Amino acid sequence: MQKNVTLNKESSPSVDLAQCRSILSNYSSVTHADLIPILQLIQDAYGYLPQDVLIEISAKTHIPLSKIYGVVTFYSQFYLEPRGKYTIKVCTGTACHIKGAPDIKKKISDVLQIQEGETTPDYKFTYTPVACLGTCFLAPVMMIDGRYYGKLTVEKTEAILKGY
């Protein structure tokens, strides 16, 4: 679950810090316990956690940047890279696994020409595996943004992807 981090100033696009500042302004004093909720809100706003924003959080909260990176890299829900317009979460849980999730995963990779954890070059799709979406009775399942798709077959998966 650990992610590799490269701090690379040049390649990170510059971002508008206004949203980040407005989220932080809702907290009069930030404690360590607020860090994960703040990161969740900020990721909702930006779609990922841009480096400049993390630097800003550190400056405003006095939580060392290294600590923030430690947290961000630990949890699989935090992303340091820009994401696609749509996020495809494919269930790799047990029920889905025995009902053909590996074939579904392969199909998605084939259609989108990317591997798990990657984003298409046109930033349309990000493709991530998750261990169980809690709808195991519909196995195999995937979720595209807020929408569930159950009882998938390879054909159905392809058609759904092409529909976006």
**Which residues belong to the annotated binding site for [2Fe-2S] cluster?**
91, 96, 132, 136
Tell which residue, 33, 146, 30, 130, has the closest CA to residue 86. Answer: 146
Task: Pick from 53, 68, 133, 161 the residue near ligand FES by CB under 6 A.
Answer: 133
- Binding residues, as ranges, are 91, 96, 132, 136
Dist CA 144 CA 142 (whole Å): 7
Dist CA 70 CA 83 (whole Å): 21
| # chain residues binding another protein, by CB under 8 A | 47
Q: Is 93 in the site for another protein (CB under 8 A)?
A: yes
Smallest distance from the beta carbon of 106 to another protein, in angstroms? Answer: 9
Dist CA 143 CA 133 (whole Å): 8
- What is the contact mask toward another protein in residues 112 to 151, using x (rule: CB under 8 A)? ----x------------xxxxxxxxxxx-x----x-xxxx
Q: Is 95 in the site for another protein (CB under 8 A)?
A: yes
- What is the contact mask toward ligand FES in residues 71 to 100, using x (rule: CB under 6 A)? --------------------x-xxxx----
Q: How many CA atoms lie within 13 A of 112 on its CB side?
A: 30
Dist CA 61 CA 31 (whole Å): 8
Name the 3-class secondary structure at 45: helix
Q: Is 132 in the site for ligand FES (CB under 6 A)?
A: yes
Q: Is 12 in the site for ligand FES (CB under 6 A)?
A: no
Q: What secondary structure does DSSP assign to 87-123, as a single string?
A: EEEEE-SHHHHHTTHHHHHHHHHHHHT--TT-B-TTS
**Using CB under 8 A as the criterion, which residues of the chain lie in contact with another protein when the complex forms?**
1-2, 31-37, 39-40, 70-71, 74-78, 89, 91-95, 97-99, 102, 105, 116, 129-139, 141, 146, 148-151
